[in-house]
């Protein structure tokens, strides 16, 4: 696999994607400047990957300080953010230390925010272990924790120094979490790359069988697209907003249902269908294209409807706090067919009622 780079001047960094990459001492050690490495992980991931990593770092002359959090989306909160910072202060971690995020998007987002804030910013490296984090969250520097009033409401743009992706690490990932990652994979096809969307349609079985070669190609294409978008618009003043397809509705589902009940990718899948349905209502997408999206999401057993308990009034309360709101106006990412999308700011409440009061069935 070719190495992919995020090109942001002095904040540029490499993304290495390779089966067995977690044991590539050369790449990892070259990205760590100081002698101390704070490894942030969780109780599910640490037993799977921590020991060999500790050994590798020790052989490279590094001292590791592991901090292991409980598992789950509900842990991506300010309390754990403070807890990790306190542990680092107690351990007298200095500014030349490096934070290493070992886990999925929850660990990656929280660790990145810790690294951004600890003594005003120290290095961090992403070692993503879920499909979702390998195709999306480890790249691009969005770091955050959730607030009961909204997803990722407290955070910073803070780029990692390197991203190390080992597709082999997905062999232990539960099917539900693999599927959740596919929601973000399919997103890239809808917003940016019709050929990639068609490739996904043609390779469903190979993807489901977790063929390492197919997964590596798929992960690399997602990272390439994400890097291209982030290179153009690091802080989401323009094109980067397209990566939010399905998230306006999805984040409302996650917050309303309670963080973790619907995992992020599931909420994004249902949100993507809602965005496509809105695009069909606005004649920007064909019904046949909506069905293609529904079939592809469905092939990975992803939800294609929102929760039955949620109606327009539940969504709207959350969506009014969305980070894309400008001067009180909600903005939505809507596809234009498959392979293109745009930001729309003239969606009327009546349209949302029509969409959301009729489509939540289960």
Ligand X SMILES: NC(=O)c1ccc[n+]([C@@H]2O[C@H](COP(=O)([O-])OP(=O)(O)OC[C@H]3O[C@@H](n4cnc5c(N)ncnc54)[C@H](O)[C@@H]3O)[C@@H](O)[C@H]2O)c1
Ligand Y SMILES: O=C(O)C(=O)C[C@@H](O)[C@H](O)[C@H](O)COP(=O)(O)O
Residues making up the binding site for NAD(+): 71-76, 105-109, 129-130, 142, 151
Mark whether 142 is an active-site residue. yes
Write down the catalytic residue from 92, 120, 283, 348.
Answer: 120
Tokens 């046949």, located at residue: 288
Mark whether 342 is an active-site residue. no
Q: Which residues, 177 to 196, sit near ligand Y by CB under 6 A?
A: 184
Give the start-end residues of each E strand in the chain: 4-6, 13-17, 36-42, 63-69, 98-103, 123-128, 142-147, 150-157, 162-165, 332-335, 341-344
The answer to whether the beta carbons of residues 197 and 189 sit under 8 Å apart is: yes
Only one of the segments 27-35, 60-68, 239-247, 297-305 lies at the binding site for ligand Y (rule: CB under 6 A); that segment is 239-247
3-state class of 220 per DSSP? helix
Mark whether 261 is an active-site residue. no
Write down the catalytic residue from 16, 161, 187, 240.
Answer: 240
Q: If contact means CB under 5 to 8 A according to the sort of partner, which of ligand X, ligand Y, none does residue 217 touch?
A: none
Q: Which residues, 148 to 167, sit near ligand X by CB under 6 A?
A: 151-152
Residue 45 binding ligand X, by CB under 6 A: yes
Q: Among 36, 161, 240, 318, indicate the residue that binds ligand Y (CB under 6 A).
A: 240
Mark whether 120 is an active-site residue. yes
Q: Looking at beta carbons, which residue is closest to ligand Y?
A: 152
Write down the catalytic residue from 16, 226, 318, 323.
Answer: 226
3-state class of 127 per DSSP? strand
Q: Among 134, 159, 216, 244, indicate the residue that binds ligand Y (CB under 6 A).
A: 244
The answer to whether the beta carbons of residues 234 and 47 sit under 8 Å apart is: no
Mark whether 236 is an active-site residue. yes
Residues making up the binding site for Zn(2+): 184, 247, 264
Nearest CA to 144 out of 90, 187, 80, 86 is that of: 80
Is 136 exposed, middle or buried (CB count within 10 Å of its CB: 0-12, 13-18, 19+)?
buried
The answer to whether the beta carbons of residues 231 and 43 sit under 8 Å apart is: no
**Structure-token pair, residue 131:** 């499909």
Classify residue 149 by its DSSP letter. T
- What are the C-alpha distances in Å from 321 to residues 23, 94, 161, 250? 42, 37, 31, 13
Residue 234 binding ligand X, by CB under 6 A: no
d(CA 167, CA 18): 7
Based on CB atoms, which residue is closest to ligand Y, 246 or 307? 246
Q: Among 18, 73, 123, 136, indicate the residue that binds ligand Y (CB under 6 A).
A: 136
Residue 240 binding ligand X, by CB under 6 A: no
Write down the catalytic residue from 16, 62, 187, 247.
Answer: 247
Mark whether 362 is an active-site residue. no
DSSP-assigned states of every residue in 171-197: GGS-HHHHHHHHHHHHHHHHHH-HHHH
Nearest CA to 140 out of 1, 17, 251, 233 is that of: 233
Residue 318 binding ligand Y, by CB under 6 A: no
Only one of the segments 42-50, 57-65, 205-213, 350-358 lies at the binding site for ligand X (rule: CB under 6 A); that segment is 42-50
Based on CB atoms, which residue is closest to ligand X, 93 or 275? 275
Mark whether 251 is an active-site residue. yes
**Structure-token pair, residue 361:** 């069935």
Residue 234 binding ligand Y, by CB under 6 A: no
Residue 134 binding ligand X, by CB under 6 A: no
Write down the catalytic residue from 16, 161, 187, 264.
Answer: 264
Mark whether 147 is an active-site residue. no
**Structure-token pair, residue 156:** 């910073």
d(CA 128, CA 109): 11
Residues that bind ligand Y (CB under 6 A): 136, 140, 142, 151-152, 184, 236, 240, 243-244, 247, 323
Residues with catalytic function? 120, 142, 184, 226, 236, 240, 244, 247, 251, 264
Residues that bind ligand X (CB under 6 A): 42, 44-45, 48, 71, 73, 76, 103-107, 109, 129-130, 132-133, 136-137, 140, 142, 151-152, 169, 172-173, 177, 180, 263-265
């Amino acid at each position: 696999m070719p190495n992919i780079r995020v090109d942001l001047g002095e904040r540029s960094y490499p993304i290495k994607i390779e089966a067995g990459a977690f044991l590539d001492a050369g790449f990892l050690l070259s990205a760590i400047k100081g002698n101390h490495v704070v490894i942030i992980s969780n109780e599910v991931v640490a037993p799977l990957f921590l020991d060999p990593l500790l050994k590798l770092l020790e052989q490279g002359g590094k001292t590791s300080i592991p901090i292991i959090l409980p598992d789950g989306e509900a842990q991506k909160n300010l309390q754990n953010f403070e807890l990790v910072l306190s542990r680092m202060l107690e351990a007298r971690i200095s500014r030349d230390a490096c934070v290493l995020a070992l886990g999925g998007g929850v660990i990656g987002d929280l660790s990145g925010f810790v690294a951004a804030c600890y003594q005003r910013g120290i290095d961090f490296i992403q070692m993503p272990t879920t499909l979702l984090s390998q195709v999306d969250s480890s790249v691009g520097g969005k770091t955050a924790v959730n607030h009961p009033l909204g997803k990722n409401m407290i955070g910073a743009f803070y780029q990692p120094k390197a991203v190390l992706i080992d597709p082999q690490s997905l062999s232990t990932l539960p099917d539900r979490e693999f599927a959740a990652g596919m929601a973000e994979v399919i997103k890239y096809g809808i917003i940016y790359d019709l050929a990639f969307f068609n490739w996904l349609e043609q390779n469903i079985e190979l993807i489901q069988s977790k063929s390492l070669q197919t997964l590596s190609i798929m992960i690399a294409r997602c990272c390439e697209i994400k890097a291209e978008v982030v290179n153009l618009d690091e802080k989401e003043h323009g094109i980067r907003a397209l990566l939010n397809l399905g998230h306006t509705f999805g984040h409302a589902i996650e917050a309303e249902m309670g963080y973790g009940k619907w995992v992020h990718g599931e909420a994004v899948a249902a949100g993507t269908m809602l965005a496509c349905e809105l695009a069909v209502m606005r004649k920007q997408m064909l019904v046949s294209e909506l069905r293609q999206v529904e079939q592809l999401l469905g092939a990975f057993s992803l939800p294609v409807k929102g929760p039955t308990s949620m109606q327009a009034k539940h969504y709207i309360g959350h969506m009014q706090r969305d980070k894309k709101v400008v001067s009180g106006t909600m903005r939505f990412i809507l596809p234009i067919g498959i392979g293109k999308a745009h930001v729309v700011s003239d969606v009327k409440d009546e349209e949302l009622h029509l969409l959301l009061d009729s489509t939540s069935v289960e």
